[in-house]
Amino acid sequence: MEELVGLREGSSGDPVTLQELWGPCPRIRRGVRGGLEWLKQKLFRLGEDWYFLMVLGVLMALVSYAMDLAVGSVVQAHQWLYGEIGDSHLLRYLSWTVYPVALVSFSSGFSQSITPSSGGSGIPEVKTILSGVVLEDYLDIKNFGAKVVGMCCTLACGSTLFLGKVGPFVHLSVMMAAYLGRVRTTTVGEPENKSNKPVYSALATLVLASITYPPSAGRFLASRLSMKQHLDSLFDNHAWGLMTQNSSPPWPEELDPQHLWWEWYHPRFTIFGTLAFFLVMKFWMLILATTIPIPAGYFMPIFIYGAAIGRLFGETLSFIFPEGIVTGGITNPIMPGGYALAGAAAFSGAVTHTISTALLAFELTGQIVHALPVLMAVLAANAIAQSCQPSFYDGTIIVKKLPYLPWILGRNISSHRVRVEHFMNRSITTLAIQLMDDGIGICCHQGLEQMPSGVVWFPMRGSR
C-alpha cells in the first residue's frame, strides 16, 4: 500500500508523508532534520577524504590502545610469575623460557594458518603496493585479525625477542584503509606447507630466551628491561663509567625503575664490557629473530641498537675527558645520552635509507638541542649506507622476490647518454589507410625505412 502524501499549509515545496505531517513535535523534528542537512552539506563541501581519514585515525588509535593494554597485562603476569615462583633456578628458567616459546608458537601457528602474508614487518610489501603492484590477499581483512593477534603475542615476549610494532602497525593501517575504501582482493595461488614453521619458531625462541635468562648471559644484556626501558636508560645523560669508578652499584634481585642503568653494570665487565657484549650478541640475535615467521617490527630494535652504539662511544669519550672538552675557555661536559640519541637516529637512518629518523629522535626526546649533530650523523650514515647496499626493506623485497622498481644511480653521468633508440626494436610493421574515390586502400609498411610492401584495395558499394 502506497503512503499518502500531502503539502504543509502555506508551503509550495515538495510533498511529505502524512505520518511526517501529523507526527508529534513537527517543528522540532523539522529543525533537527534541517540541522542534519546543514551539517551534511558542510561535511561534503570539503570532500569525503577528511572524515574518512578521521575515522581511520580513531579506529587505529583504539586498536593500538587495546593492544598496549593487552600486552601490558601479559607482561605483568610474566614478571609476577618469574618473581613468585621461588628460588629454584630450574623453575625460574622454565618460567623465563616456556612463556615466550608458547606465545611465539601460538603467534606463528595462528597467523600462518590464517594467511601466510601476515608474518614479518609489512613495510616491504606496502612499498611494493605503493609502486603500483597489486599483491592479492595482502590487504584482506582476515589478515588484519591475524596480524593483531600475532603481534600481541610477539610484543608480550618483551625484550627476549627484541622486536617492535612500528612496521606491522603501518601494515595494519593500510589494511584498515583498504577495508574502509571498499578494496577487495582475491585469494589465488597454491597453499603453502606451514607445518614446520611453528616448530622452527619455538626452537628459535627457546635459543633466544635461554641466552637472555637473567642469571646467565642475560645478566650482561640488560634482559630484564623492556623496549621502552632500554631507550630510557640509554638516553640517560649521566656518565655511568665515571659514576662507577669509586663505587660499585648493587645488582638488585628485582628491577629498580629509579635506577635502570644498574642493569648495564657488572663489577667484572664494567659498563664498557656490557655495552660491547650487548652489541655483539644482539647483532646475530636480531638477525635470528627476523627469520621467525611472526608479525613483528624491526625498526625499534634497530633504533635501540644504534642508541647502544652511541652510548658506548659517549661513555668512551667521557672516560677519556672526565672533566669535559675545553673550547675557548668554556668547559663542555660530555653527555653520553646525546651520543646515544645521535647513534640511534644515524644507525636506523642508515639501515632504512631515510633521513626522517632525525625527526623521530627529536619528537621522542621533546628537544632539539642536539639537532645539528644528529642531522650531520644521519646524513653521513645515509651517504655511506646508500653507496654500499640497498636498505633493509628493499633487501627484503629482493629476497622475497617481490616486483619492484630498480634503483637508478643519479650520480652516474654516463647514464644520461643512453637513449631509447639504443635498445628499442625499430623494425615494426604499420598499416596506412588511404581513402580513394571508388574504395579504401590499406598500405603495409615494413622495416626501418618504412617501405611499402603491398596494397590491399576494397571497392565500395556501387563502384565498378
Q: Output the nine-digit C-alpha cell for 448.
A: 626501418
pLDDT given at position 397: 84
Q: What gap in Å lies between CA 341 and CA 370, rounded to an integer?
A: 8
- What superfamily does domain 220-400 belong to in CATH? Clc chloride channel (1.10.3080.10)
Q: Output the nine-digit C-alpha cell for 376.
A: 650531520
Distance of CA 200 to the CA centre of its chain: 24
CATH class of 41-184+197-212: mainly alpha
**DSSP secondary structure letter of residue 182:** T
**DSSP secondary structure letter of residue 246:** S
Max Cα–Cα distance, the chain, nearest Å: 116
CA nearest 281: which of 202, 208, 226? Answer: 208
Are the C-beta atoms of residues 352 and 305 closer than 8 Å to each other? no
Q: For the chain, where do the domains classified as CATH 1.10.3080.10 start and end?
A: 41-184+197-212, 220-400
pTM score of the predicted model = 0.72
DSSP of 276-289, one letter per residue?
A: HHHHHHHHHHHHHH
Are the C-beta atoms of residues 172 and 296 closer than 8 Å to each other? no
Query: What residues of the chain score a pLDDT lower than 50?
Result: 1-7, 10, 18, 183-194, 463-464
pLDDT given at position 5: 47
pLDDT given at position 391: 87
pLDDT given at position 280: 94
pLDDT given at position 312: 94
N-terminal to C-terminal alpha carbon distance within the chain? 69
Q: What gap in Å lies between CA 443 and CA 445, rounded to an integer?
A: 7
CA nearest 141: which of 169, 103, 114? Answer: 114
Q: Which amino acid is at 71?
A: V
Q: Output the nine-digit C-alpha cell for 258.
A: 629509579
Sign of the CA dihedral running 368, 374, 379, 385: negative
3-state secondary structure 49-75: HHHHHHHHHHHHHHHHHHHHHHHHHHH
The angle formed by the CA atoms of residues 104, 231 and 304, to the nearest 5 degrees, is 65
Q: What gap in Å lies between CA 336 and CA 312, rounded to an integer?
A: 8
Three-state SS at 306: helix
Q: What are phi and psi of 195, to 5 degrees?
A: -70, -30
Beta bridge partner(s), residue 432? 443
* Beta strand ranges found along 55-196 (DSSP E): none
Q: At what angle do helices 141-156 and 49-84 cross, to 10 degrees?
A: 30
Summarised one tens digit per residue, pLDDT across range 13-59 is: 555 554 555 556 667 777 777 887 776 666 555 555 667 778 888 88
